[in-house]
Structure 1
Amino acid sequence: MLVAVLGVAGCAAPGSGIGEHGPGRVGADPSPSWSTGQAEVGAVRPGPGANSVTVQVQALAGREDCSRDVRVTNLEEEREVIFASLVQDSYWSGIVGACPTSTTVEVTITSPRPIGQRQLTINQQAWMLRDGRYNRCSENLGCDPPADRCDPTWTQAAVRGLDVSRHSTGTVEHCDGTWLVMTVPDDPAACGAEARAGCSVDTAVWRYFLRSEPAGWVVVARTGAGGCDDVLKAAPAFPRQLCAGLQPTGRYVTTAPSR
């Protein structure tokens, strides 16, 4: 059985009931009401003890009844992952600007066995322990990205960071771990994820030159031309052997069959 224990590190205002904010109170918003919503997680740290972690929640604050009863729900363990939802009750959360600040509330999650290196998924966000600290896992790279920067995990994460359709995928032309060259169409699914019968797509295809940085691949140049001119203007250190034989990109053109 998993256990959740609540502690307050900041000073959340205590709730005093709906009646105090009923119609007729001077300055009251016409439509506030108590509701339960997801709480914002600010940080996670190990302990106390091997079976617990402490989660710092940024609870709503700024006036009375902004937040109360910050708590853990849907606490489960499955396949070496601990899942939890952190929620709070608020009288004013439905009123924009009614709770302009936050205060830190700490919630302790305890497992029946040592947590160790197991992944935590809190409010759909994954966290992993690295060098004694919990870090948020990347939405695109996951919790344990491969060391090889040419792995599709890294190259497709780079595509998702571009200003292209979410349906676009990259075609890698060259990758040496430091430099990446790939072509990406702007919007290959302009006719929809399931293309309408007879619909045609005619979209630009761009060539992206990227450099490996600690956080991932970073674009240094984009072009539709062949050769090296555009990338060498932006990054003179780019290896010529990776661009010398490149041809212009052209366009992505396709037509869905008629039914």
Structure 2
Amino acid sequence: MSAVLCAVAVLFLGACGTQVAGRETSASPTGPIPWTTAEPSGITGARLSGDGRTLLVDARVPSGKHPCMRDLKAVLTEPVENSVRVQVTFSSPSGDMRSGCTKEKVATARVRLPAPLDARELVVDQDVQFTADGAKLPALRLCGQLGCTPPATGCTTASYEQALIAVDAPAHTYRDSQDCDGKWLVTDFSWRTGPACGDNTADPACSSRLGDRWFFKAKKSGWVPIAEGAAGGCRVVQRKEPDFPTSMCKSLAPLSRSLHPSYPPASPSASPSPSAS
């Protein structure tokens, strides 16, 4: 009889686990760790070989104590307009926490181009752009948010959008006013707060805004922010940049950062900035 009870106890413990110091434990997950195809978390650089036909792409890939990456490759995809498109992939077990692949390193993939890159842009993983134009070859130049050929600095809508990006303006920003002479720029902008109300601007909660004012100086890279402040007049900007024209700031009124419903709505030309979204 005791042998039968012992056998039953063994079966019970095998099905339900064991108790250690009052804590229930269970067996660790078993089976091999799966390797899956993935894309890099980021592209850090691209360059051409001496003959201009071999492309090398530097990418961030998983790293850890054990092997975390294999089969890294760059593959040409269908070109679009004047561009060469490349997709970078690799295999990794990093999707499984047991792999220990919690760090990253930079690895290089290469692909042979059918023809020299020349004036065409390189697009890696759909949205990272490089160009040989203005680059220190063999390295290619990484393009910015405004593409490889951003608008020339000046008193234009596209140039104002670049200025908003330079100060990391919030999404759906409205340009309320700007004064520009080609070398200097001051712009006021605002963005809505509160719930998303669509066209129901009669609700005060929907028409309330926050606002800011920035001053810029033109450089080769575009409009460069030099001062920020809601006070009126020239003190804020000329304290940091004495050469800023007095004629462009002396008549500036103080700008309330909390723009209430009485604040004039943006004019039709001051539509939300798509580039700041």
Structure-2-length-normalised TM-score: 0.68
CA distance in 1, matches of 2:241, 2:31: 58
Matched ranges for 1:156-171 at <5 A: 156-162=161-167, 164-171=169-176
Partner of 2:87: 85
Q: For structure 2, which runs of at least 5 residues remain unmatched after alignment?
A: 1-26, 266-277
RMSD over equivalenced CA pairs, Å = 3.2
Per-residue displacement from partner, 1:71-120 (whole Å, max 9, x unpaired)?
A: 23461112111122101110124439624242533312422x33211001
Displacement of 1:57 in angstroms is: 3.0
* Aligned residue among 102, 121, 133 for 1:119: 121
2:148 is matched with: 143
SS of structure 1 residue aligned to 2:77: strand
Q: Could you tell me which residue of structure 2 aligns to residue 6 of structure 1?
A: none
SS in 1 for 2:192: coil
CA deviations 1:26-78 (Å, max 9, x no partner) are xx999953222112323211235344422233433333330011123461112
In the other structure, the counterpart of 1:17 is: none
One-letter amino acid of the counterpart of residue 44, structure 2: G
**Structure 1 counterpart of 2:228, from 222, 228, 232:** 222
Aligned residue for 1:227, secondary structure, equals coil
**Aligned mates of 1:92, 1:69 — CA distance in 2:** 14
Matched, 1:104 2:107: yes
CA contact 1:128–1:134 (8 Å) conserved in 2: yes
Within the candidate set 237, 241, 252, 1:235 is matched to 241
Distance 2:38 2:196 in 1: 34
Task: Name which of 214, 235, 254 aligns with 1:208.
Answer: 214
Post-superposition offset of 1:221 = 2.8
Aligned match for 1:66, one of 50, 65, 68: 68
Partner of 1:257: none
Larger deviation, residues 198-207 vs 76-85: 198-207
Structure 1 pair 51/98, CA: closer, same or farther in 2 (3 Å)? closer
Larger radius of gyration: 2
Tell me the distance in 2 between the aligned counterparts of 1:170 and 1:31.
56
Q: What is the identity percentage for the equivalent residue pairs of Structure 1 and Structure 2?
A: 22
TM-score by length of 1: 0.72
- Tell me: CA distance 1:239–1:91, structure 2 relative to 1, closer, same or farther (3 Å): same
- Report how far residue 172 of structure 1 moved: 4.8
Q: 1:92 to 1:176 in 2, by over 3 A?
A: same
Structure having the higher strand fraction is 1
Does the 8 Å CA contact 2:213/2:230 hold for their aligned counterparts? yes
**Partner amino acid, structure 1, of 2:121:** Q
> Retained in 1: the 8 A contact 2:232–2:252?
yes
Gapped regions of structure 1 (runs ≥ 5)? 1-23, 255-259
